[in-house]
Structure 1
Amino acid sequence: MITGFSRRVAVTACSLCAAGVLALAPAAASAAHRAGDPAPPGPRTTVPPPSLLNHSGTQVRPQRGAPEVPAVSALSWLVADADSGKVLAANEAHRRLPPASTMKTLFALTLLPGLPAGMRHTVDYRELQDIGEGSSLVGVEEGHSYQVADLWRGVFLSSGNDAVHVLASLGGGWQATARKMQAKARSLGALDTNVVSPDGYDADGQVSSAYDLAVFGRAGLRNPDFARYCSTARSEFPGDADPYQIENTNRLLTGADGVTPYPGLIGIKNGYTSNAGNTLVAAARRDGRTLVVTVMNPQEGGGLAVYEEARRLLDWGFAAAGWVDPVGSLDALRP
């Protein structure tokens, strides 16, 4: 673990007196400068500390009195301030791992702006071909007409790969969407991500990182439609006769399966595949601060551990406000 304590500069009464003398004697200072003396130095600029995010192991810069970072079993994780982009702590932030359905955050960032929510579309059977075996589905039916907003709710709440396939078709096709997502990731400074399957389904070479997923989640919260969809706990989806209820698969949001809902949770996206394990990018707001966390593939505690580890990291992040110096920034790699 790499840690460090920040230094504080004490301002003495003498230094304040000196500052007062300089403020009250501009003429003397000007005369000294005219006499050929060197000009007084300008104000010092604050140089941010170097990023620790490329280092292995847990990275944190605690000040004295800072709470201890909780022990979590995830292969990779990150806690950041969503407003400033400052990373408060991380472990293997740039480790490239399968992202599962958290890749849908990048999918939404890429296609949401170009598809009006109220636009209607009748699904063609070809749009539902080649959906990966065992995929999560919301129940999109060929020949049915849906609003784009219905399909996005299917993506965010039910993690429906069927809805992703239809939206990708509207966005130019499966491969074109993957290329657009790759370009969007690079434009955000997410350099660890390689897009093969836009829905997050396991595919050779498909990877992302805790850092990149936090970048995507933070960017998504700035889009009102994205923020509304990802924070919706329950909704209705059009059916053959009547709409039926769908529920967000993020247990920290809904409290399903015995997981206690997290106060102030905004949502974002969870995922699971056999290769990726359980993954989660989540955000919560408390006392005017918004934190974003990523947890990738916990190694202990079963299928619900991803939520409990995210809970501990969020609790730590809020408690550590003002007690840690950043170890990096979510804006650092943006072109």
Structure 2
Amino acid sequence: MTTATEKTTVTALQTHPEVARARAALQRALGDPAAGAAHAPLARAADALESDPTLVLTRDGQYRWDCLSELVRQLKLLARQAALARAGGPGKVNPQAPRELDALVVRIDQLVDQITAAARPDWDTPAHRAALAEAVLPADHTLATIAAALRSAAGPAAALAPDHPRVRELLALADRITGAVPARCVRSAADARARERYGHLEGQMVWLESRRSPGSLSLGSLHLPDDTPGYLYLARGDADRSKTVHVDDVLRLIPDADKRAQEEKATAQARREHALELLEARKLQERITVETADGQVVTGLLLDYSDHHLWLHRHDVEGVDRDAPWRAPLGRVRALTGAP
């Protein structure tokens, strides 16, 4: 005996937005003269959808229907090009369009065969609907990722006001989601996030800032231990100074090389601006002494300078023609003084 709830569920499936969208798209395609030889297979697809509306509610079914929609879109374009090619009209004409159109119709027919083969006469039975529902439910690792993202999003607010009703509500929701997932899946999802975000930096020196110590950066060698999935281990010379941080507690992680490059860039910019101030107080052909960041000291006549470089001639660089201009980037100038 069919219950009222089951009748309501069946009706809801028949009028589901995805089903209605697929039905409307097929009706438009069937009403378009461009359908041509593809009209018959498209009509079979429409019949299959009416016989089993769940065809577009599974992952495989949605994929097949998306493919069919794309082929129908191509069909309209090729039908127009094929008509021009047959008529020999003016302008750019694709002479292969008729042959390509025939091949496209074959592909549509083959795809519709797959769609109709998947249709089931028992689609409206509770057992089949339950099996389909199980198949399209989010996977455990997806739920674990959602729960972790929710905790991470609520983290800053939780640090400021852990007893705030909204904060407690969100964290409780994350706990309920986690409760529906086996612990191994939670760890697996966290480990996947850690390796996706930071796996390419394993073994490198990095600076890490965590939620436990906001505003404080720690330098160490990054490792992703297999025995603690989802955690980052920052080796800092000895066990007492080393740190273990969960991937969702990482606020910032900067490769040491990138940090040093940023610092060097900032230092070079400061040197350039300082050198420009000193040069603006000098006159061309004035004798000056320049000390670079690598320790080179050169004395000569100021030939010229720009926003980024200075040039000296009549300089004292050994092994170089003293009349050939010597150039120094302003970002590398550590000191600039007058020379006797």
Larger-gyration structure (1/2): 2
Q: Work out whether the TM-score is over 0.5.
A: no
**TM-score of the two chains, using structure 2 as the length reference:** 0.19
Greater RCO, 1 or 2 (C-alpha within 8 Å, sep 6+): 1
